[in-house]
């Protein structure tokens, strides 16, 4: 019984992690860049959302719309100002640049918002739950899971079947050849980053409602996104989703064994996957 509950909660947690992982998978797939500020941007959006809600009395859905739009804008800005300068075969500059930015961002948020943890009032939805058999399942986590599934499916479909998706895959395969075929790589990159950070807008709202956000949390979210992508398999969007599920379940089950063991259990599962099947569950050889 405990285990079933752990499983269900884990899948729901996975829905949140999937929203971190999608953006990371997209950016790495197209530009081979890992944006170290990925987690910090989610926290930033969360803190902004909480402040806006407090200042203007906004409900969570209004905040969601604002944060997704803000996320897209931030993504565009980040790409044009910083990331465009460090795209290339050498991974070091993009890593160090985003690493430095991450430190700056965390501390700037600390200055502005202080280290207090904050959360967003989710209203009635946050408390509601319904009964499934012998268990009670929260409404909010189910919404999170459904959102994650829709986002993943949508992104995957777009990448496979749309003009934009083809341009993305072409730029990822051979950026020079893509330019020779009429694609402007900078536009493709900007769109990818904008989408990645816009998705974080969803995650920011959900995380703020279900738990708390504080300026120093960013690195942990980054690690979860990264682990989800590796477990699920690089180069696969549904892989990111699946990896997030595995991570969520691992942490949830670990937590039920011992409250201090949750996150560590996730790390251990990650290391095991790395040892046994390094290309990930859905990854190609």
Partner 1 sequence: MKEAFTATSFDAPEIKARVQRQTLSGMIAMGVSLGVLVAISSMPWWADQGLIRSVVEISCYVAVAQMWNLLAGYSGLVSVGQQAFIGVAAYAMFVLAQLWGLNPFLAVLLCLLAPAVLAVPTYGLLHRLDGPYFAIGTWVVAEVMRLATSTFGYVNAGAGMSLRVMTSYSAEQRAIGVSLLTALMLLVTVGGSFLLLRSRYGLALVALRDSPVAAASQGVNVGRLRFLVWISAAVGTGFAGAIYFMAHLRITPPAAYDPKWANVAIFIVMVGGLGSLEGVLIGTLIYFFADRWFGQFGAAYLVVLGLLTLFMALFARGGVWGLICRVVDAPWFPTRRTLLEDRP
Partner 2 sequence: MNAPLLSAHGLVARYGDFQALYGVDFEIAPGEVVALIGANGAGKSTLLKSIMGLLRVAPEMVRLDGRPVGGAKPYTMVASGVAIVPEGRRLFTGMTVEDNLRVAIDHARTRGGWTLEKVFLLFPVLKEKQFVRVQLLSGGQQQMVAIGRALLNQPRLLLCDEISLGLAPKVVREIYQSIASIAQSGTAIVLVEQDVGLAQSASGRLYCMLEGRITLTGRSSAIQRAAIGEAYFGAPRAVA
> Which one of partner 1, partner 2, none interacts with residue 143, CB within 5 to 8 A by kind?
none
CB nearer to partner 2: give 116 or 176: 176
Phi/psi for 284 (5° steps) reads -85, 155
Minimal distance in Å, beta carbon 157 to partner 2?
14
* 43-79 CB burial, b ≥16 within 10 A, e <16: bbbbbbbbebbeeeebebeebbebbbebbbebbbebb
How far is the first Cα of the chain from the last one, in angstroms, to the nearest whole number?
37
The contact set with partner 1 (CB under 8 A) reads: 28, 32-34, 36, 82, 85-86, 91-108, 110-111, 219, 222-223, 226-227, 230, 234, 258, 260-261, 263-264, 267-268, 270-271, 274-275, 278
Q: What angle do CA 82, 151, 242 make, to 5 degrees?
A: 95
CB nearer to partner 2: give 74 or 282: 282
Q: How far apart are CA 38 and CA 110, in angstroms?
A: 17
> Which one of partner 1, partner 2, none interacts with residue 44, CB within 5 to 8 A by kind?
none
Helix, strand or coil, per DSSP, at residue 118: strand
Residues 166-205 vs partner 2: string with x where CB under 8 A?
xx-xx--xx-xxxxxxxxx---------------------
Distance of CA 39 to the CA centre of its chain: 7
> Which one of partner 1, partner 2, none interacts with residue 133, CB within 5 to 8 A by kind?
none
Q: How far apart are CA 71 and CA 74, in angstroms?
A: 5
> Which one of partner 1, partner 2, none interacts with residue 183, CB within 5 to 8 A by kind?
partner 2
CB nearer to partner 1: give 150 or 268: 268
* 88-121 CB burial, b ≥16 within 10 A, e <16: eeeeeebeebbeebbeebbeebeeebeeeebbbe
Minimal distance in Å, beta carbon 171 to partner 2?
9
> Which one of partner 1, partner 2, none interacts with residue 150, CB within 5 to 8 A by kind?
none
Does 163 participate in binding partner 2 (rule CB under 8 A)?
yes
CB nearer to partner 2: give 16 or 159: 159
Does 157 participate in binding partner 2 (rule CB under 8 A)?
no
Does 88 participate in binding partner 2 (rule CB under 8 A)?
no
Does 32 participate in binding partner 2 (rule CB under 8 A)?
no
Q: Where are the alpha helices (DSSP H) in 57-90?
A: 60-81
Indicate the helix (H) or strand (E) that contains 130. Answer: strand 129-132
CB nearer to partner 2: give 55 or 163: 163
Q: What angle do CA 27, 32, 35 make, to 5 degrees?
A: 55
> Which one of partner 1, partner 2, none interacts with residue 217, CB within 5 to 8 A by kind?
none
CB nearer to partner 2: give 160 or 277: 160
CB nearer to partner 2: give 57 or 182: 182
Helix, strand or coil, per DSSP, at residue 211: coil
Q: Residue 129 pairs with which residues in a beta bridge?
A: 138
Which residues would be at the binding site for partner 2 (CB under 8 A)?
A: 163, 166-167, 169-170, 173-174, 176-184
């Amino acid at each position: 019984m405990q285990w079933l509950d752990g499983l269900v909660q884990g899948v729901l947690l996975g829905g949140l992690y999937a929203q971190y992982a999608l953006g990371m998978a997209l950016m790495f797939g197209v530009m081979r860049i890992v944006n170290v500020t990925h987690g910090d941007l989610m926290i930033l959006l969360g803190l902004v959302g909480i402040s806006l809600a407090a200042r203007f009395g906004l409900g969570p859905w209004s905040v969601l719309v604002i944060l997704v739009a803000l996320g897209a804008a931030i993504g565009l800005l980040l790409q044009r100002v910083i990331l465009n300068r460090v795209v290339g075969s050498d991974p070091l500059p993009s890593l160090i640049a985003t690493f430095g930015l991450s430190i700056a961002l965390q501390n700037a948020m600390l200055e502005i918002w202080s280290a207090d943890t904050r959360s967003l009032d989710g209203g009635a939805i946050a408390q509601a739950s319904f009964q499934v058999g012998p268990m009670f399942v929260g409404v909010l986590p189910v919404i999170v899971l459904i959102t994650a599934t829709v986002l993943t499916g949508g992104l995957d479909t777009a990448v496979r079947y749309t003009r934009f998706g083809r341009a993305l895959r072409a730029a990822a395969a051979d950026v020079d050849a893509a330019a020779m075929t009429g694609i402007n790589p900078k536009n493709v990159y900007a769109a990818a980053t904008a989408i990645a950070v816009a998705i974080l807008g969803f995650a920011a709202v959900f995380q703020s409602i279900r738990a708390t956000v504080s300026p120093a949390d960013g690195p942990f979210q980054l690690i979860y996104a990264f682990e989800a992508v590796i477990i699920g398999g690089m180069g696969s969007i549904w892989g990111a989703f699946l990896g997030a599920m595995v991570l969520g379940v691992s942490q949830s089950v670990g937590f039920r064994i011992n409250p201090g063991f949750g996150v560590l259990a996730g790390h251990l599962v990650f290391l095991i996957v790395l040892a046994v099947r390094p290309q990930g569950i859905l990854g190609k050889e």
